[in-house]
Amino acid sequence: MSDEQHQNLAIIGHVDHGKSTLVGRLLYETGSVPEHVIEQHKEEAEEKGKGGFEFAYVMDNLAEERERGVTIDIAHQEFSTDAYDFTIVDCPGHRDFVKNMITGASQADNAVLVVAADDGVQPQTQEHVFLARTLGIGELIVAVNKMDLVDYSESDYKQTVEEVKDLLNQVRFDTENASFIPISAFEGDNIAEESDNTGWYDGDILLTALNNLPAPEPPTDAPLRLPIQDVYTISGIGTVPVGRVETGILNTGDNVSFQPSDVAGEVKTVEMHHEEVPKAEPGDNVGFNVRGVGKDDIRRGDVCGPAEDPPSVAETFQAQIVVMQHPSVITEGYTPVFHAHTAQVACTVESIDKKIDPSSGEVAEENPDFIQNGDAAVVTVRPQKPLSIEPSSEIPELGSFAIRDMGQTIAAGKVLSVNE
Ligand code: GDP
């Protein structure tokens, strides 16, 4: 990795539209294919008496990593351009991509939306754009992929662009903050070099557009917040909670508290990439060990913070939500599962306080009887089990959530205030 500025990039889009292929292509074109893949390829090529490095090998390796499932969201993929070191978050192919996106998207600075030219806007295109908008993605690069399958047709490209623009307008995503590029992830058109196949296109190629993305917001001086992903027992060390530092710094010697489990202790060791480090910063995936905290004292969904400024535990909280995909209507008493950072907790919508007009942001109705798809509303929510969550204005990384029911994301939102 170079010394360039760092960005987290989400690759979103409907299944089979080419997200993994594009990730492979970006790694390949930027010379970021992992060493072990090159080694593996060399061996295989020697066995078969062939030479040359093939893009197909990157794809095989990605497919393998995908099959390994959950490890993929820890094994981040990275590549560098002239301006930035990119980490791809929310890696495609994850078993529960949307859920991964919710716990990760608040952390992605910008996103590439992949839409296949031969298929256009599909349900997951809508869902991902909606989530990106609600959870606050900065800019969107729309990669109209599989141009090779439509004979590089300008009119097919334009039609897809129009569909995407309509979608962006629907969710009030400023199309000024979106750029559109006709690509073929598979053939490599307009990724690292201008393609002769799209002579009618004179905009930026993908790597240039990535270079031109705005720099991420400087990190906030929020206190340490580290949602726990898993808790392991490692011989010789003891209990090792693992997770990603969302805000603040984790130092050895710090006194930390886990909420809502409500236990505290001193940080003995912090490990990153199998090496002991003195401290961890936002974005770092760490395992650490806390004196006196055992495996049964803490669990996934806990948030670790400073003992003197512990993560808040909500008795109730007020939130702004947008309903995206509910088969009927949401009324008071509705109790779906809320996914916030690494926690999943059933929560009851105790009251629907107001309906908001999505185009003006003004209050459209006080205490409506119900809300339905397309509605934005302010609601009061009561977790059925203790849940650590923060107002989005104070700690954005810990203030967004998705509401899941019946196997799909039915709404997403941001926490306005917390009553502890
Ligand atoms: P994902 O589900 O969005 O990650 O999609 P994949 O990257 O797995 O791609 C789905 C299928 O589309 C695979 O068979 C790819 O080889 C194919 N594909 C992806 N990009 C292109 C492209 O630019 N052109 C063509 N012809 N096929 C593509």
146 is in an annotated binding site: yes
| Cα–ligand 1 centroid distance for 102 (angstroms) | 24
| Cα–ligand 1 centroid distance for 300 (angstroms) | 34
| Cα–ligand 1 centroid distance for 21 (angstroms) | 6
Residue nearest to atom 11 of ligand 1 (CA): 16
339 is in an annotated binding site: no
93 is in an annotated binding site: yes
Classify the C-alpha dihedral 199-201-202-207 as positive or negative. negative
Ligand 1 atom index nearest CA of 114: 3
Tokens of 160: 């897809």
148 is in an annotated binding site: yes
147 is in an annotated binding site: yes
CB of 6 closer than 8 Å to CB of 87: yes
Instruction: Using most ligand atoms within 8 A of CB, pick from 186, 187, 198 the residue to mutate for ligand 1.
Output: 186
Please, what's the b/e burial string for 94-105 (b: 16 or more CB within 10 A of its CB; e: otherwise)?
Answer: beebbbbbbbbb
Ligand 1 site, CB within 6 A: 13, 15-21, 92-93, 145-146, 148-149, 184-186
Rounded to the nearest 10 degrees, the angle between the axes of helix 35-48 and helix 55-67 is 120
pTM above 0.95, yes or no: no
pLDDT in tens, the chain (420 residues): 445 788 888 888 888 899 888 988 998 899 887 677 777 777 776 777 655 566 767 777 666 666 654 333 434 578 899 999 998 875 444 445 555 555 554 467 899 999 999 999 998 888 788 777 766 678 999 999 999 999 999 999 999 999 999 999 887 788 888 999 999 999 999 999 999 999 999 999 999 999 999 988 766 688 999 999 999 998 888 999 999 898 999 999 999 999 999 999 999 999 998 899 999 998 888 999 999 999 999 999 999 999 999 999 999 999 988 887 888 999 999 999 999 999 999 999 999 999 987 555 678 899 999 999 878 899 999 999 999 999 988 888 898 888 989 888 888 888 999 999
What ipTM does this complex have?
A: 0.99
